[in-house]
Amino acid sequence: MGGTDFGDTYAGSTGAYWNQVNTASFGSALSYVPEIPWNNSCASELIANYHGFAVTYGANGFCNDPVLGEVLYLSTIGGSGGPSGCAFGAPSLIGAVTGTCAGYPKPSWQVVPGNPNDGVRDLPDVSLFAANGVWGHSYVLCFSGGTSSCQGDPSTWPRAGGTSFSAPILAGIQALINQRTGDRQGNPNPVYYALARDQYGPTGNTACDSTLGNGIAGNCIFNDVTQGDNNINCVAYPNTGILYNCYLPSGVNGVFSTANTSYQPAYRATPGWDFTTGLGTVNAFNLVMAWPLPPMP
């Protein structure tokens, strides 16, 4: 399960997606809201750009800025993703995919535009909103027992985020699928990827690009997140000075990169499948209705 945030604040389009005043039942969203990867880090190109920085790395980059970057955004909080590693074998550096480490083999069903031919299981498969407030968006929650927090305007309730919210929400969507089909489904991933291949075709589907926001096509099962990244800040490996997947040309804080000597951010959102949000976020109604029904007896 990957995690996203809403992209309206970055785009300056908040007024197009939210009522200025909540309804009587505290509703405020006007439509589907464009999404970006959930990322609280100074290594986020979108956050850096929003605060006027051209780059995230280097002594003059956002992650080494003493006013904002190192104070508010030196964080490894956000959605995750990447190729499988160290499922087998042993690392030569503890905590790093080195030595004899090998990943889980790529399943036969994980074939879709954007997914690399890397021979290993890649994550995530799908995503849902998971942000905890870095762009002003998060989940509101309440709990009962002791002092209840479930009273009054939800804007006064506790706020949080994380894939610990989005994962059970996806389980709820799967329960709707089970209810409609009248059967248990087992591993849903082969169906996710089959539906995604139909949606994206051989080169992707621009009508399902999440940046379209309220202009996205109504039949999209997956909202294709194509803007932003889930890159985070990094430093040299402890007690060794070794850089491992960390681009640190100057300064103290580097950014995750698939190359140590050049900026290859890990990872950017791209059309189709990507390491930030997988197949994209789920349109629950379209997914439930597109799910194949069992054959008639």
Q: How far apart are CA 196 and CA 158, in angstroms?
A: 36
**Can you say how many angstroms the Cα of residue 290 is from the centroid of all Cα atoms in its chain?**
23
- Which H helix or E strand runs over 168? helix 163-181
Please report the pLDDT score of residue 57 as a whole number.
97
- Cα separation values, 103 from 14, 90, 95, 125, 264, Å: 41, 11, 14, 16, 21
Task: Name beta bridge partners: 223.
Answer: 281
Please report the pLDDT score of residue 37 as a whole number.
98
Please report the pLDDT score of residue 146 as a whole number.
62
Full pLDDT tens readout for the chain, 297 residues: 999 999 999 999 999 999 988 898 888 999 999 999 999 999 999 999 999 999 999 999 999 999 999 999 999 999 999 999 999 999 988 878 889 999 999 999 999 999 999 999 999 999 999 999 999 999 998 877 666 677 888 888 889 999 999 999 999 999 999 999 999 899 999 999 999 999 999 989 999 999 999 999 999 999 999 999 999 999 998 878 889 899 999 999 999 999 999 999 999 999 999 999 999 999 999 999 999 998 776
Radius of gyration of the chain (CA): 20
Task: Name beta bridge partners: 209.
Answer: 224
**Could you say which DSSP state residue 108 is in?**
T
- Strands (DSSP E) contained in the chain are 2-6, 35-37, 82-83, 122-123, 127-129, 139-140, 159-160, 222-223, 233-234, 246-247, 254-256, 281-282
Q: How far apart are CA 132 and CA 158, in angstroms?
A: 11
Please report the pLDDT score of residue 41 as a whole number.
98
